[in-house]
Homo-oligomer: A and B are copies of this chain.
Amino acid sequence: MLASRLYSPTLRELPADAVVVSHQYMLKAGMMRKIGNGIYSFLPLAWRSIQKVEKIIREEINKTGAQEIMMPIVQPAELWQKTGRWDVFGPEMFKLKDRNDREYCLGPTHEELVTSLIQMDTTSYKQLPVSVYQIQNKYRDEKRPRFGLMRSREFIMKDGYTFDADEEGLDKQYKLMYDAYTRIFTRCGLTFRPVIADSGAIGGSGSHEFEVLADSGEADIVYCENCDFAANIEAVDPLTVKCDIHNDKEKELVETPGQHTIEMVCDFLHAPVAQSVKAVVYNVDGLVVLAMVRGDHEVNETKIQHIYNAINVDMASDEDLKKVGLTAGYISPIGLKRTKDFDILVDPTVMEMQDACCGANEKDKHYIHVNPARDFTDVRVETIRQIQEGDVCPHCGGKIVRCRGIEVGQVFKLGTKYSEALHATFLDNQGKSHPFVMGCYGIGVTRTVAASIEQNHDDDGIIWPVAIAPYEAVIVPANNKSEEVMAAARKLYEDMEDSRDEVVLDDRNERAGIKFKDADLIGYPVRVTIGKKWQQSGCVEIKIRRSGEVVEVPLEEAKDKVLEILKTLHANNQ
């Protein structure tokens, strides 16, 4: 490809809403343009990277025995109404009507559709397992689309689905997919971790997320320094922390005028934060829930959602508090009773505490010398705290480390949630009917490209892993005015283009500095410079974007050397 013809218009000014690196660089390098809020056009460079990711996915997923299909984007409402997800998705689902007023949505995912599709023709255990996948646009009308491709409203996903006769079959498929996902992200050159995940709104009995490790990620993940354990924090029940304090004193009401935060109270009472009890109040589908954790802990809201099998978990309003008799800033379960409108959850670590301080449900007053196991008289004990850095690994006792990740893939054991709701069944060898045991497996294709940039960049631009770079190499004639230089560059380009459609010749009538800048920004893994040095010594300069390493070889050897470097990069998934 000639750079003079490549449609990759670079930008000088960045739109203010581009706050993460992948968004900034993809706009700056002319890889994509914003069309609407969370809606983008992909220009040739981005599209090549996306297609490379898709090709890797196809190759690896095909190896699992899965077959590629293509389901519609526009899906009839009825299917979603049957599983109840028409309402669960709520405003996040793009909905529309056709000319005959029939309702449809733009598929945010395809569990409903694929279940009804496979059900049409699959009736016997003999036909199982069935494993299908597609790569397609998906739609979510996000409340706050942001971060470019990291959270857009139209995005490309690979979604796969398996249908088995039993859990054992599902386990086998799940393992196949887990391994394929590991190969896919490895081949994409990403540093990632599969982590135990919450199965969330999609339902099911087991799940892993594949997280690309990057500070800009929106996922909080934890892993053990010692063993293999890694999880999304919302999916972990941390161990209960014992308390070595012993307290025989009765609880005592003290004045704490104006001290309405944990930090204020602890400061005022000269108590460590870990000796205080924190109250957070939620509105869980209408039920007011008081959640108590240790002062230095956080509530795992996903766990709250699971406990009540809830659709919405929101912070409680002042009105909610008033309704159930809670005093903001001084909240306490002491003396309160659970009712049908009000529940109290206490984390077991709180129940272990002794000599704690805690609100008194009266303005400007707290209790001290509280022993929750003795003084909290009507509460439900559930592990509701988040695991945190420094916690003990629930598996091996090692130390937990926390970091950020970008979720690029997820595998789910769905079980029979969708097949039961849609009456999708098969007959076993006794003629008995059973719902399919399903799994589903997603990869955010466009998000993978963005995550790769979040993880692989420097101040000059993108550092593509070679397998998903839009082009693998660029040839830069550093002196456009020299016919000799241009001819040499053109010859090398033609020699190389024959072997692979992966080389760009920067034939633009620009200064060498601008060409180098653009090459770094676009992130070609290998850059070949033909300039003065070549005119003097016959040597061209080959620079590896990732390592910065430079080698000089005679022009005649340049092609072989570049191919050798590319081969090494490919072999090392770099």
Instruction: Across the interface, name the chain B residue whose C-beta is closest to A30.
Output: B121
Complex CA gap A381/B133 in Å reads 60
8 Å CB contact of A35 from B72, B106, B154: B72
Contact A47 B69 (CB under 8 A): yes
Q: Which residues of the partner chain B approach A41 to less than 8 Å between Cβ atoms?
A: 69-72, 113, 117
Contact with B along A337-378 (1 / 0, CB 8 A): 000000000000000000000000000000000000000000
Interface residues of A in 80-107 (CB under 8 A from B): 91-92, 94-96, 98-99, 102, 104, 106
Instruction: Across the interface, name the chain B residue whose C-beta is closest to A509.
Output: B126
Q: How far is the CB of A335 from chain B (nearest CB, A)?
A: 42
Complex CA gap A33/B118 in Å reads 10
Q: How far is the CB of A505 from chain B (nearest CB, A)?
A: 14
Contact A73 B137 (CB under 8 A): yes
Q: Is A42 an interface residue (CB 8 A)?
A: yes
Contact A96 B94 (CB under 8 A): yes
Total contacting residues, chain A, CB less than 8 A: 54
Contact with B along A43-61 (1 / 0, CB 8 A): 1100110110000000000
Q: Which residues of the partner chain B approach A30 to less than 8 Å between Cβ atoms?
A: 121
Please judge, given known A-B contacts A33-B120, A113-B41, A120-B33, whether A7 and B67 are in contact too, CB under 8 Å.
yes
Q: How far is the CB of A93 from chain B (nearest CB, A)?
A: 10
Q: Which residues of the partner chain B approach A122 to less than 8 Å between Cβ atoms?
A: 9
8 Å CB contact of A69 from B43, B69, B121, B143: B43
Contact B33 A117 (CB under 8 A): yes
Q: Is A74 an interface residue (CB 8 A)?
A: yes
Complex CA gap A139/B106 in Å reads 12
Contact A7 B132 (CB under 8 A): yes
Contact B72 A40 (CB under 8 A): yes
Instruction: Across the interface, name the chain B residue whose C-beta is closest to A42.
Output: B70
Interface residues of A in 457-492 (CB under 8 A from B): none
Please judge, given known A-B contacts A96-B96, A141-B98, whether A72 and B117 are in contact too, CB under 8 Å.
no
Complex CA gap A75/B121 in Å reads 36
Instruction: Across the interface, name the chain B residue whose C-beta is closest to A65.
Output: B5
Q: How far is the CB of A405 from chain B (nearest CB, A)?
A: 27
The secondary-structure label for the interface of chain A is: mixed
Q: Which residues of the partner chain B approach A96 to less than 8 Å between Cβ atoms?
A: 94-96, 106
Instruction: Across the interface, name the chain B residue whose C-beta is closest to A116.
Output: B35
Q: How far is the CB of A509 from chain B (nearest CB, A)?
A: 9
Contact B120 A74 (CB under 8 A): no
8 Å CB contact of A99 from B36, B44, B139, B141: B141
8 Å CB contact of A74 from B9, B36, B70, B121: B36
Contact A35 B73 (CB under 8 A): no
Q: Is A3 an interface residue (CB 8 A)?
A: no
Contact with B along A116-134 (1 / 0, CB 8 A): 1100111000000010100
Please judge, given known A-B contacts A65-B5, A99-B141, whether A74 and B106 are in contact too, CB under 8 Å.
yes
Instruction: Across the interface, name the chain B residue whose C-beta is closest to A118.
Output: B7
Complex CA gap A106/B39 in Å reads 13
Contact A154 B73 (CB under 8 A): yes
Contact A74 B94 (CB under 8 A): yes
Q: Which residues of the partner chain B approach A139 to less than 8 Å between Cβ atoms?
A: 74
Q: Is A6 an interface residue (CB 8 A)?
A: yes
Q: Is A76 an interface residue (CB 8 A)?
A: yes
Q: Is A68 an interface residue (CB 8 A)?
A: yes
Contact A99 B33 (CB under 8 A): no
8 Å CB contact of A143 from B35, B71, B99: B99
Contact A70 B50 (CB under 8 A): yes
Q: Is A543 an interface residue (CB 8 A)?
A: no
Q: Is A294 an interface residue (CB 8 A)?
A: no
Q: Is A153 an interface residue (CB 8 A)?
A: yes
Contact A74 B113 (CB under 8 A): no
Q: How far is the CB of A3 from chain B (nearest CB, A)?
A: 12
Complex CA gap A39/B7 in Å reads 34
Q: How far is the CB of A34 from chain B (nearest CB, A)?
A: 9
Q: Which residues of the partner chain B approach A73 to less than 8 Å between Cβ atoms?
A: 73, 137, 154
Complex CA gap A137/B33 in Å reads 20
Interface residues of A in 171-188 (CB under 8 A from B): none
Contact with B along A1-38 (1 / 0, CB 8 A): 00001110100000000000000000000100101110
Q: Which residues of the partner chain B approach A70 to less than 8 Å between Cβ atoms?
A: 41-42, 47, 50
Q: Which residues of the partner chain B approach A51 to less than 8 Å between Cβ atoms?
A: 68
Contact B44 A69 (CB under 8 A): yes
- Known contacts A35-B117, A91-B99, then 7 further A-B pairs from the complex at CB < 8 Å, ordered by chain A residue: A35-B71, A41-B70, A74-B153, A96-B96, A96-B106, A98-B141, A99-B141
Q: Which 5 A-B pairs have the closest CB atoms?
A: A9-B121, A96-B96, A44-B67, A42-B70, A91-B99
Q: List 24 A-B contacts (CB under 8 A).
A: A5-B67, A7-B69, A9-B121, A9-B122, A33-B117, A33-B121, A35-B71, A35-B72, A36-B74, A36-B75, A36-B76, A36-B102, A39-B74, A41-B113, A42-B70, A42-B71, A44-B67, A44-B132, A47-B70, A48-B68, A51-B68, A94-B98, A98-B141, A106-B106
A residues at B contact (CB < 8 Å): 5-7, 9, 30, 33, 35-37, 39-44, 47-48, 50-51, 65, 67-76, 91-92, 94-96, 98-99, 102, 104, 106, 113, 116-117, 120-122, 130, 132, 137, 139, 141, 143, 153-154
